[in-house]
Amino acid sequence: MAGTSLGGQVETDVAIVGGGIAGLYAAWRLAGAGGRRIKLFEASGRLGGRIHTLYPAPGLTVELGAQSIRDDHHLLIRLLQDLGIAMRAEQKDDGAGLVHLRGRTRSHAEIGKARLRRPFAYDVTVSLQRGGPGRLLRKAQRKATDFEGLAGELGPRLSQLLSPQEMAYLADRSGYGFWTSPVNADAVLGWAEQSLFKGSHQMFDVPSGMSCVTDALAAAAHDKGVDIATDCPLLDLAIDAGGAITLGFGGRRPPVRAGSVILALPKVAIAGLGGFNRLDTVRALLAAVDAWPVVTSAILYPDCWWTHAGFRTAIAVTDLPLGMVRHFGAEDRPQHRGIGALAMFADGERGAFWRGRSLPDGAWLASDDPAMAEIRRMVETVYRPKLRRAPPLPLKAMIRDWAAAPFGGAFHLWAAGSKPDEAAALALRPVAGAPIHVCGEAWSPRQAWIEGALETAESVLHRYFRLPGLLDGIP
């Protein structure tokens, strides 16, 4: 791949492209080792990537992006300790979580007690409805001759093992729509078992908001000499005859020459890099993963009205476009006073309902926006059967479409026909002989998790920059 030589010396030893958790973590770790000039470039005006916390009122945090930590996420837990950021154990679901499907609202406790009557209007047995998505997937695996029998495309393969009504219940009850999509069946089912059905794993969150993690990383990296620039979309990447790498940016920023490059970017951003995206190995890397579209939102209320019906941190799931709903605000207010918020997660077809209704630059929808009327109607439909009175009017809402640029999706899944182990290894150095490295959640064994982004960054730093592991020496 040829590029235009700029002449002169390399301007930075390491150029990191991407101001999300993987890029900031790599910058922080490299800067801590010393001896390198490091520049970090972020395409947007905001650092943090798909970590995005809102602070709509004093003491209230609402997550529009990544939010949960599991007890086996050792890198992230150690990182929080090093940054002095506290975690908090998420409360176990005591049966108060809600499920609203096909016009009926049931608590988890009510579903679990069902014996004769099906909880919801699906042609699915009482036992399978009670057991939920996990039991349906176990049924599919039993019907397959072995786990390899679930290879191929997930949607078509599951459709051979489950009835149409069971497939519908799986998607509606789980809150995820990728079960019917043509992603890698073997890889995605394994990921789902580890990620969605958490079993005995303890879950944590960050009371001060996940954005505190990326903010602290950016500050620590800057203090160690990392030059951080925002509003710098990378448009092309080329290697000149001398082996130096040239980065071409949009706007008036001149090209930058770097000795090494770390691309901490999602699939869509790498696909947009002129020249680089035409290499066979890069095309193979891009073909290995699919970005999954998700819309999230924060819905602000004058109080935490859901606590009066016993809902605190439990999640509500519905087949309405609200998708999955989390409650924010009540857990830090014993008297249940003050502003609270619901956070929506809607993917696939549910997310498509909201696409195009978001405002630019993270603006809030006004109370009289047409989308607010839809939000009010759906929230009342889901919760009203369990309340003595209707929920109050929402104050405002913010809708975030993660499928929009520069992310392309909220997370990634292995594509049909992909070989995840080979693609994950290829990402670490996709161009033979060139010091260009890709890291982040997309090509990680732990897709959709912060831990996956950190693990891939650690692999790059250890293998190609000779840094000791963050957890080295930790028993």
What local confidence, expressed as pLDDT, does residue 102 receive?
Answer: 97
- Beta-carbon count within 10 A of 144 CB: 17
- Domain presence at residue 446: yes
- Residues 301 and 388 occupy one common structural domain: yes
b/e map 111-129, b = 16+ CB within 10 Å: beeeeeebbbebebeeebb
- Residues 370 and 453 occupy one common structural domain: no
- Residues 313 and 219 occupy one common structural domain: no
- Residues 224 and 299 occupy one common structural domain: no
What local confidence, expressed as pLDDT, does residue 310 receive?
Answer: 78
Q: pTM higher than 0.85, yes or no?
A: yes
What local confidence, expressed as pLDDT, does residue 8 receive?
Answer: 42
User: Who's near 173: CB < 8 A, 6+ residues apart?
Assistant: 99, 101, 129, 132, 133, 317
- Domain presence at residue 110: no
What local confidence, expressed as pLDDT, does residue 61 receive?
Answer: 93
Range of the domain at 187: 122-195
Q: Point out the domain boundary residue: 155, 170, 195.
A: 195
- Residues 149 and 221 occupy one common structural domain: no
What local confidence, expressed as pLDDT, does residue 194 receive?
Answer: 77
- Domain presence at residue 22: yes
- Domain presence at residue 327: yes
Q: Looking at the 3D structure of the chain, how many domains does it have?
A: 3
User: Who's near 390: CB < 8 A, 6+ residues apart?
Assistant: 380, 384
Are the C-beta atoms of residues 130 and 148 closer than 8 Å to each other?
Answer: no
Per-chain mean pLDDT for the chain: 90
In Å, what is the CA distance from 264 to each residue of 25, 183, 199, 293, 376? 10, 23, 31, 19, 38
- Residues 306 and 346 occupy one common structural domain: yes
Domain at 382, CATH number: 3.90.660.10
**Lowest-confidence segment of 2-11, 14-23, 267-276, 367-376 by average pLDDT:** 2-11
395-412 per-position pLDDT tens digit = 999 999 999 989 999 999
Domain at 429, CATH number: 3.50.50.60
- Residues 311 and 353 occupy one common structural domain: yes
The pair of structure tokens assigned to 434 is 């060139």
- Beta-carbon count within 10 A of 223 CB: 10
Residue 453, pLDDT > 60, answer yes
Which amino acid is it at 19? Answer: G
Q: What residues pair up with 98 in beta bridges, in sequence order?
A: 107, 316
User: Who's near 165: CB < 8 A, 6+ residues apart?
Assistant: 122, 123, 124
- Residues 138 and 218 occupy one common structural domain: no
Residue 4, pLDDT > 70, answer no
- Domain presence at residue 406: no
- Residues 390 and 249 occupy one common structural domain: no
What local confidence, expressed as pLDDT, does residue 1 receive?
Answer: 35
